[in-house]
Amino acid sequence: MIVRTGIVLLAIFFDLASLILFATGIALLWPGTAFDAIWLLAPERAWTLMPYRLWLGPFFLALMVPVACASYGFFRQRGWARTLAIAIFAANGLGDAMQIIAGHTLTGLLGVCIAGLVLLFLTDRTVRAAFVTV
**pLDDT per residue as tens digits for the range 3-34:** 999 999 999 999 999 999 999 999 999 999 99
What predicted TM-score, i.e. pTM, was given to this entire model? 0.89
**Amino acid 125: pLDDT:** 94
The DSSP line for 37-84 is: GGGGT-HHHHHHHGGGHHHHHHHHHHHHHHHHHHHHHHHTTBHHHHHH
User: Stretch 78-104: mean pLDDT, rounded?
Assistant: 95
Which pLDDT belongs to residue 97? 95
CA-to-CA distance for 49 and 96, rounded, in angstroms? 16
Q: For position 76, what pLDDT does the model report?
A: 95
Query: Which pLDDT belongs to residue 134?
Result: 63
Instruction: Summarize the confidence of residues 66-70 as an average pLDDT.
Output: 97
